Amino acid sequence: MTTTLTRPGALAASGHPLVRPQAARHLTDEQIAELGVELDAIRDDILAKRGATDAAYIRRVIKVQRGLEFAGRGALLFGRNKAAWIAGTTMLSFAKILENMEIGHNVLHGQWDWMRDPDIHSTTWEWDFVTPARSWQHTHNDLHHRWTNVVGKDRDVGYNLLRMDADQPWKPFNLGNPLYNAMLAPVFEWGIALYDLELPEYNEGLKSKADLKRDLKAVGIKAVKQFTKDYAATPAVAMLTGSGKQALYGTLVANAVRNVWAHAVIFCGHFPDGTDTFTEENVEGETRGDWYVRQMIGSANISGSKLMHLMTGNLSHQVEHHCFPDLPSNRYAEVAVRVREICLRYGLPYTTGPLPKQVASTWAKVFKLALPGKGHFRKGKPASA
Amino acid sequence: MIRLPRLARAASALITPLTPEDFLALFNPVFSARQLRGIVTSVVRETENSATIYFRPGSGWHAHRAGQWARIGVELDGVRHWRSYSLSAAAGQDPAITVTDAGAVSNVLVRNTRPGDVLFLAPPQGDFVLPEHPRSLLMLTAGSGITPVMSMIRTLVPRRPDADVVLVHSDRTPDVSLFREELNELADQFPNLRVTHWFTEERGRLEFTAATLDTLCPDWRSRAAYACGPEGFLDDAEVFWAAESGVPRTDPEPGRADPGSLTIERFSTSLAGGAGHDGGLVTFEASDLEVEADGETPLLDVGEDAGILMPSGCRMGICHSCLLPLRAGQVRDLRTGEVHGDPGQLIQTCVSAAAGPVNLDH
């Protein structure tokens, strides 16, 4: 991957980017540096607290998830019975959501690497999602989290499919924005698998043929295994009880439920009203404080219950996740209180809202940007208590 | 009957990317596809500060040879730590380690281990083993250095009437001396074992001189000697044998142990940590390269500048693409200033600089 900007081992503590984002322009270099120090202190604080209770938390979630997966798939084998089908499909849907969100996404971020447990580690984990863990780690952990919302750098802004920012030039193809998005949601995992192949990068000469071949092979093997598990092996075993067809419907529904849910949650991370996007001038010369600012004003949270946070893999704390992508997810809730207070004090936007409102907001953007022009979007408002 | 591996392979089709072990671990923690584990079966207190831990290892373990050691992983506040401990059980017996409380990890093992606990394991290894052919032996041990030798004595003495073993064990007092009673009983029962306990509180430090050895074991020059104990004890033994035995010190060849030779077991190969900002010599083990690095340059850059193909990603410490295993030494986190490093730990090379000499497995 070619980059015009080089990064030192750690970002500079002081200084300023070529152009500071609008929402943070009222802050001086010193204030931004101070903000960086405050956020670093939050991180250090969590690192010092992190320990046996956190380890017990992730192991408990993994246990529950495997229990659900086992019971759900087991029940589907008797799917001819309606109650078994409903129970099985529900449990499997929950299992897949937990596996992808609270476990897979976060383990693959290295949030649990500190335990040094090879069974729960970013270098060994593979997930119940078509795209291979290693490919996703490259496009997500490295590219998306490094270049968060920088138009032209962070291809998560629209995933090469949708026009999701007013600064992306309009093409007639974009008229289909709502249609593509509606079609993408139920097959989201296949969309991400395709996205992680980085075909546009290959066409632009930014990705070598050898790398593409390697990724194609990996995704091919993974896709066959995933497909076989849900759509061949499980129905085949269920045929023993005459439930083959019902088991197939069950796994199809569970995968679709997971896909629609993941799609909704992930779109709420950076696309709702109030989130900012950035230019390359905003990142050139970025300091540690500016980096935090970009993560905070470029991300949006989802408010809700503890169960909601769990089922979103704590991506409902997207702001905190983007500031500290490798802190354990069970700590984001307490971090959020402090990050929000910092945004309030520094007069920075802090975007959050209930799921229906945030989902509606992302869909409004999908519709508006289908048309030429820049649309009208509410800018982020400074955080309020 | 369907063989288990085939059954497991078939089951994998239903649960990929998980493995059958991942599910079996729900019921029995000894199962893991990636990590050898053992269940503690009993814990026997040896002295005030030491205990022997018996365990039942999962599949992947192999029987130990007398004198070998194993890496044992335990969790302290959620973080896995690994240390090496000698196996004290006789070859052919269920494995057991004898641990003396001398640090955070051994403290937990000695004080808090209970039957049913899970231990993380690596299979036994080590070249400090009995000679392949029978010959007379002199064992020199100090403190917990008796542990691997105890395994040798338990293996050899009761089963081989032709064995001829002299043990000189140095310890502070009778109370802290491991296996003291059992050794005395064995010596009473079997004429092929002679034991001398040397208590330093009464007799002072055991000095390696020709006069001392001639008293303790007059025919020491014709015996194959084995030594295990603290660093200073082993250094002294080595110097003495090099000067006095007349047998040139050669690279150890497991199980050879010629008469007059000295075989030693050293545990601490640790590198001294630097003060933090000094940098140090960085060794890339697999690439067979050594580079002098300052204390501010990320190890990722150090490796790349030396022409090594390094795994890399964000270069700012967020994506965990650059992780490499640390073999020895300490690194400084460039973000927090924290100096850390445990053997086997995966470190983020893009935000870690050398704090003293560093050895990377890459």
Share of chain B above pLDDT 90, in %: 62
- The pLDDT confidence band at residue B248, using thresholds 50, 70 and 90, is low
Q: Which tokens sit at B13?
A: 């089709």
Which of A6, A10, A228 is nearest residue B13 as measured by Cβ atoms? A228
A168 φ/ψ sector (left φ>0, alpha ψ -120 to 50, else beta): beta
Candidate from A305-319, B20-34, B229-243 with smallest mean pLDDT: B20-34
How many C-beta atoms lie closer than 10 Å to residue B207's C-beta?
A: 10
User: Using the beta-carbon criterion (under 8 Å), do A51 and B78 form an inter-chain contact?
Assistant: yes
Chain B residues lying within 8 Å of A122, measured CB to CB: 320, 323
Q: H-type helices in A229-287, by residue range?
A: 234-238, 244-270, 280-283
> Which residue type, as a one-letter code, is found at position B95?
P
What is the pLDDT at residue A1? 33
Mutate to test the interface with B, among A59, A62, A114, A119 (most CBs of B within 10 A): A119
- The pLDDT confidence band at residue B269, using thresholds 50, 70 and 90, is very low
Q: Is the pLDDT of residue B338 over 90?
A: no
Flag whether residue B114 sits within 8 Å of chain A, measured between CB atoms.
no
What is the pLDDT at residue B1? 38
Mean pLDDT for B160-175 is: 95
What is the pLDDT at residue B256? 79
User: Using the beta-carbon criterion (under 8 Å), do A70 and B23 form an inter-chain contact?
Assistant: yes
Which one, of A17, A379, A20, A375, lies nearest residue A167 by Cα? A375
Between the alpha carbon of residue B43 and those of residues B58, B85, B96, B122, B151, the distances in Å are 18, 15, 9, 20, 17
Cα A241 to Cα B240: distance, rounded to the nearest angstrom: 78
- The pLDDT confidence band at residue A5, using thresholds 50, 70 and 90, is very low
Q: Which residue has the higher pLDDT, B306 or A79?
A: A79
**Computed over its alpha carbons, how large is the radius of gyration of chain A?**
21
Q: Is the pLDDT of residue A7 over 50?
A: no
Give the minimum alpha-carbon distance from A36 to chain B in angstroms, rounded to a whole number. Answer: 12
Flag whether residue B7 sits within 8 Å of chain A, measured between CB atoms.
no
B354 within 8 A of A10, measured Cβ to Cβ: no
Using CA coordinates, name the residue in chain B closest to A3: B314
Mutate to test the interface with B, among A5, A45, A117, A121 (most CBs of B within 10 A): A117
Mutate to test the interface with B, among A53, A112, A130, A142 (most CBs of B within 10 A): A142
B293 within 8 A of B352, measured Cβ to Cβ: no
Run of H or E including A45: helix A29-49
Mean pLDDT for B244-254 is: 66
Helices (H) and strands (E) in chain B, counts: 9, 17
Mean pLDDT for A329-348 is: 98
User: Using the beta-carbon criterion (under 8 Å), do B336 and A44 form an inter-chain contact?
Assistant: yes
Using CA coordinates, name the residue in chain A closest to B298: A9
Tallying the residues shown for chain B, one arrives at 362
What is the pLDDT at residue B250? 54
Q: State phi, psi for B232 to the nearest 5 degrees.
A: -65, -40
Give the minimum alpha-carbon distance from A11 to chain B in angstroms, rounded to a whole number. Answer: 7
Flag whether residue B336 sits within 8 Å of chain A, measured between CB atoms.
yes
User: Using the beta-carbon criterion (under 8 Å), do A229 and B15 form an inter-chain contact?
Assistant: yes
Place of tokens 């070998």: B68
Helix (H, G, I), strand (E, B) or coil at A146: helix
User: Using the beta-carbon criterion (under 8 Å), do A138 and B318 form an inter-chain contact?
Assistant: no
Which one, of A92, A87, A85, lies nearest residue A70 by Cα? A92
User: Using the beta-carbon criterion (under 8 Å), do A137 and B318 form an inter-chain contact?
Assistant: no
Which of A7, A116, A226 is nearest residue B316 as measured by Cβ atoms? A7
The overall average pLDDT reported for chain A is 94
Strand B224-228 with B137-142, pairing = parallel
Chain B residues lying within 8 Å of A127, measured CB to CB: 17
* pTM given for the model: 0.88
Flag whether residue B212 sits within 8 Å of chain A, measured between CB atoms.
no
Which of A44, A115, A222 is nearest residue B79 as measured by Cβ atoms? A115
Q: Is the pLDDT of residue A9 over 80?
A: no
Tallying the residues shown for chain A, one arrives at 385
Cα A191 to Cα A176: distance, rounded to the nearest angstrom: 16
Cα B141 to Cα B150: distance, rounded to the nearest angstrom: 10
Chain B residues lying within 8 Å of A117, measured CB to CB: 35, 80
User: Using the beta-carbon criterion (under 8 Å), do A67 and B26 form an inter-chain contact?
Assistant: yes
Q: Which tokens sit at A224?
A: 């066959």
Q: Which tokens sit at B231?
A: 């660093």
pLDDT per residue as tens digits for the range A190-227: 999 999 999 999 999 999 999 999 999 999 999 999 99
Chain A residues lying within 8 Å of B336, measured CB to CB: 40, 44, 47
Place of tokens 């007013």: A166
Candidate from A66-70, A117-121, A256-260 with smallest mean pLDDT: A117-121
pLDDT per residue as tens digits for the range B252-263: 566 778 888 899
B43 within 8 A of B115, measured Cβ to Cβ: yes
Share of chain A above pLDDT 70, in %: 97
- Residues 6+ away with beta carbon under 8 Å from B158: B186, B190
What is the pLDDT at residue B11? 84
> Which residue type, as a one-letter code, is found at position A30?
E
Q: Is the pLDDT of residue B268 over 70?
A: no
- The pLDDT confidence band at residue B343, using thresholds 50, 70 and 90, is confident
Q: Which tokens sit at A169?
A: 């030039």
The overall average pLDDT reported for chain B is 89
pLDDT per residue as tens digits for the range A281-327: 999 999 999 999 999 999 999 999 999 999 999 999 999 999 999 99
Q: Is the pLDDT of residue B270 over 50?
A: no
What is the pLDDT at residue B4? 59
- The pLDDT confidence band at residue A8, using thresholds 50, 70 and 90, is very low
Cis peptide before B254 (omega within 30 of 0): no
Cα A117 to Cα B34: distance, rounded to the nearest angstrom: 10
Helix (H, G, I), strand (E, B) or coil at B44: strand
The sheet with strand B118-121 has its strands ordered as: B79-86, B69-76, B118-121, B37-47, B50-57, B96-100
- Chain A with chain B: Cβ pairs closer than 8 A: 136
What is the pLDDT at residue B335? 84
What is the pLDDT at residue A270? 97
Q: Which residue has the higher pLDDT, B287 or B214?
A: B214
pLDDT per residue as tens digits for the range B295-306: 989 999 999 888
Chain A residues lying within 8 Å of B36, measured CB to CB: none
